[in-house]
Amino acid sequence: MIRLQKVSRNFIVGDQQVAALRGIDLDIAAGDYVSIMGPSGSGKSTLLNLIGLLDRPSSGTYLLDGGDVTALNDVQQAKVRSEKIGFVFQSFHLVPRLTAAMNIELPLILAGIPVAERKQRVAVLLKNYGLTDRADHRPDQLSGGQRQRVAIARATSMHPAVLLADEPTGNLDQTTGKEVMNLLEQMVAKRVALIVVTHDPVIGGRAMRQLHMVDGQFTRETGRAA
Amino acid sequence: MKLFDVLLFASGSLRGSRTRTLLMIVAMSIGVAAVVVLTSLGEGARRYVIGQFSSLGSNLVIVLPGRSETAGVNPGMLLGQTARDIVVDDAEALLRSPAVRRIAPLTLGAAQASHGARNREVIVLGSTADLLPIRHMELAQGQFLPQIDINSAMSVCVVGAKVRRELFGPDTALGAWLRIGDRRFRVIGLLAEQGESMGMNTDDLVIIPVASAHNLFNTQALFRVLIEAKNRDMIEAAKHDAEEILMRRHGGERDVTVITQDAVLATFDRILRALTLAVGGIAAISLSVAGVLIMNVMLISVAQRTQEIGLMKALGAPQGEIRRMFFAEAVLLSMVGSTVGWLLGEIGSAIIGMVYPTLPVSAPWWAVLAALGTALLTGTLFSVWPARRAAKLDPVAALSKR
């Protein structure tokens, strides 16, 4: 489903060119559970942003569902992001003035889905993630775990094919972190490709495929019996 | 994203930062209110002057003796003559013009008037029955000067409201005798209270037939001749005819001045409208200042909400959508601001109207439209750049900004 071929990404820092990714080849199928691990600065976040179409590769091709998405324009890319990709961030990125329910509703609003259907889908998501009694709370009234649950509910509200999580447990304690990982892993059973970026080997070790990155290149891939 | 949702979202983010929103609304509304108040003042002044002129009568052409020449020599000067008087016959001759509906000769003088023990100086106006319709005067009681021969000196008079009050007090004025100078006049009509108009207060007047006035003041000369043209289009023809007729009667000499009410009116109208525009324009500058403020605050808002913008992009909002969101905010703000400003302006105008009741202050519709339009336009225009800036943000950088 996701196929990266010789993807590189260079940044210009000052007058120097810094290569964040060097010729990455990667294939991810629907229902894959992949973790990308490596020290900070290894390019794992850049890779995630590329897969999430928030960034464009300097060279190489990125095929999503067989189509080359690097050539798409802004509107088309936004549409792909809206329909196929869900993001979960380390710092949750909830809109502070909106309630939990409205934060979950946001992608649906952006996609132009009618109000009635929106409300119904949000209600189901709130229930699934045990947030029904928190629906009208603002992010600052929620605990870290609840915030990340809201963020996951938001990421899955459009039924994406790919779920991208960048250090999803980075701001959580271990117990809540595990809960959050369980919620994310539930999506794998629904044939969603889950890609988790982390530097925590415990979290990363939960994935079926574990990719290790150093200096913008994969050093090795380890696996876990599914 | 549906338009309704865009508006909802925008109003949500406006409510999210109250101080910012309030400040922008205040800036916007002050600008709009200034435009509304200042133009309504200007318009009030214009309408006041126009009203004063119009109350003189409609389709008026005014003939005055003498002519102000800036150059040249006329035969009269060589012979040591001054301009010829306009006499009653001259006035009557004006009726020969097909453009003239009616005329009213005017002779003006001051005389002592008394009734019983009370006496006061009054302004005596000699004229004819047609003065009433030409000058748009109104009677409170009785009748106006009768339709009599212009040369017959009837001893009747019509008195103004103030004269009546001061000379007759509680007595019945109608039918009473009024002594003016050395003559007695029967009061046949009372003028309704009209107040000042163009420096002449009809309340202080006593109107008598023109021939009687000539006898009273021992003169033949008319102070003015008022001509009412048949309609608006005939005004120029009436003016031309009046000049021709009087020139022929005065031995080929142009020694009268003929002015049209319209010309005077148009001049004043132009001057005062220009004034209103000027003041309104100055006020509009304050609106554009408000626009710059909006831009500034929007830019701050974009900076503050960088993460949110990055998130929106990650959630699938294309650049156009982000632009629309910020745009909608600016438009909403300008709408609220200009509506508040408009209300403030109307309240301000109403207060001025209460303080100066004679001034018909009310903002002209075009000024209100222009103010609202300028407010909306500046608000939208000055948000283009911030909105673009928001839309162009790099999502990765925006999301990672702390």
**What ranges do the domains of chain A cover?**
30-54+71-223
Residues B115 and B249 in one domain: yes
Residues B237 and B314 in one domain: no
Contact A49 B316 (CB under 8 A): no
pLDDT at B59 over 90: no
> Token pair for residue B154?
């009837």
CA distance linking residue B378 with residue B382, whole number of Å: 6
Residues B108 and B196 in one domain: yes
CA distance linking residue B90 with residue B101, whole number of Å: 16
Residues B185 and B288 in one domain: no
Q: Which residue has the tokens 């009509």?
A: B189
Q: Tell whether B222 is covered by a domain.
A: yes
pLDDT at B77 over 70: no
Which range among B294-298, B341-345, B393-397 shows the weakest confidence by mean pLDDT? B294-298
Would the pTM count as exceeding 0.80?
no
A151-195: per-residue pLDDT in tens?
A: 999 999 999 999 999 999 999 999 999 999 999 999 999 999 999
Residues B158 and B298 in one domain: no
Residues B47 and B72 in one domain: no
Contact B316 A75 (CB under 8 A): no
Contact A83 B12 (CB under 8 A): no
Question: What is the domain range of residue B46?
Answer: 3-53+266-400
Closest Cβ–Cβ partner in B12, B308, B316 for A110: B316
Q: A55 at the B interface (CB within 8 A)?
A: yes
B327-386: per-residue pLDDT in tens?
A: 888 888 888 988 999 999 889 888 988 888 888 887 778 888 888 888 888 888 888 999
Residues B48 and B185 in one domain: no
H helices of chain A, where?
44-51, 74-84, 100-110, 115-128, 144-156, 174-189, 201-204
Kindly list the residues from chain A whose CB atom is less than 8 angstroms away from the CB atom of residue B5.
Answer: 109, 112
Residue environment code for B305-322, b if the CB has 16+ CB neighbours within 10 A, otherwise e: bbbbbbbbbbbbbbbebb
CA distance linking residue A49 with residue B400, whole number of Å: 11
Q: Measuring CA to CA, which residue among B42, B30, B21 is closest to residue B343?
A: B30
Contact A98 B311 (CB under 8 A): no
- CB atoms near residue A5 (< 10 Å): 16
Kindly list the residues from chain B whose CB atom is less than 8 angstroms away from the CB atom of residue A83.
Answer: 316
Q: Is A168 helix (H, G, I), strand (E, B) or coil?
A: coil
Closest Cβ–Cβ partner in B13, B315, B399 for A82: B315
Interface test with B, best of A110, A119, A158, A159 (most B CBs within 10 A): A110
CA distance linking residue B96 with residue A6, whole number of Å: 105
How far A82 CA lies from chain B's nearest CA (Å)? 4
pLDDT at B74 over 60: no
Question: Which residue in chain B has the smallest CA separation from A75?
Answer: B318
B122-164: per-residue pLDDT in tens?
A: 999 999 999 888 888 888 889 999 999 988 889 999 999 889 9
CA distance linking residue B253 with residue B39, whole number of Å: 46
Closest Cβ–Cβ partner in A49, A93, A97 for B307: A93
Residues B250 and B161 in one domain: yes
**pLDDT in 10s for each residue of chain A, 226 residues:** 899 999 999 998 888 988 999 999 999 999 999 999 999 889 999 999 999 999 999 999 999 998 899 889 999 999 999 999 999 999 999 999 999 999 999 999 999 999 999 999 999 999 999 999 999 999 999 999 999 999 999 999 999 999 999 999 999 999 999 999 999 999 999 999 999 999 889 999 999 999 999 999 999 888 865 4
Contact B313 A81 (CB under 8 A): yes
Amino acid at B115: H
Give the dihedral sign, CA B5/B7/B13/B15.
Answer: negative
Q: Measuring CA to CA, which residue among A33, A12, A15, A32 is closest to residue A205?
A: A33
Domain boundary among B254, B282, B309: B254
Residues 122-181 of A with CB under 8 A from B: 154, 158
Contact B308 A107 (CB under 8 A): no
pLDDT at B178 over 60: yes
Residues B213 and B271 in one domain: no
Kindly list the residues from chain B whose CB atom is less than 8 angstroms away from the CB atom of residue A158.
Answer: 316
Please give the tally of structural domains in chain B.
Answer: 2
Residues B35 and B178 in one domain: no
B116: left (phi over 0), alpha (psi -120 to 50) or beta: left
Domain boundary among B254, B285, B302: B254
Give the dihedral sign, CA B340/B341/B345/B348.
Answer: positive
CA distances from B343 to B34, B35, B40, B199 (A): 11, 12, 13, 36
Domain boundary among B254, B279, B303: B254
DSSP state of B192: P
Q: Tell whether B260 is covered by a domain.
A: no
How far A116 CA lies from chain B's nearest CA (Å)? 13
Superfamily per CATH, domain A30-54+71-223: P-loop containing nucleotide triphosphate hydrolases (3.40.50.300)
Contact A79 B318 (CB under 8 A): yes
Closest Cβ–Cβ partner in A49, A74, A109 for B5: A109
- A35 touches A211 (CB < 8 A): yes
Kindly list the residues from chain B whose CB atom is less than 8 angstroms away from the CB atom of residue A74.
Answer: 318-319
Question: Which residue in chain A has the smallest CA separation from B325?
Answer: A110
Residues B178 and B48 in one domain: no
Kindly list the residues from chain A whose CB atom is less than 8 angstroms away from the CB atom of residue B315.
Answer: 81-82, 87, 106-107, 110, 154
Q: Tell whether B206 is covered by a domain.
A: yes
pLDDT for position B45: 85
Question: Which residue in chain A has the smallest CA separation from B316?
Answer: A82
- What ipTM score was computed for the predicted complex, to two decimals? 0.92
> Which positions ≥6 away from A109 have C-beta within 8 Å?
A118, B1, B2, B5, B9
Q: Tell whether B49 is covered by a domain.
A: yes
User: How much is the average pLDDT of B259-270?
Assistant: 82
Contact B318 A97 (CB under 8 A): no
- B10 touches B312 (CB < 8 A): no
Q: Tell whether B125 is covered by a domain.
A: yes
Which range among B57-71, B85-99, B259-273, B351-365 shows the weakest confidence by mean pLDDT? B57-71
Residues B236 and B280 in one domain: no
- Please provide residue B255's backbone torsions phi and psi, each rounded to the nearest 5 degrees: -120, 25
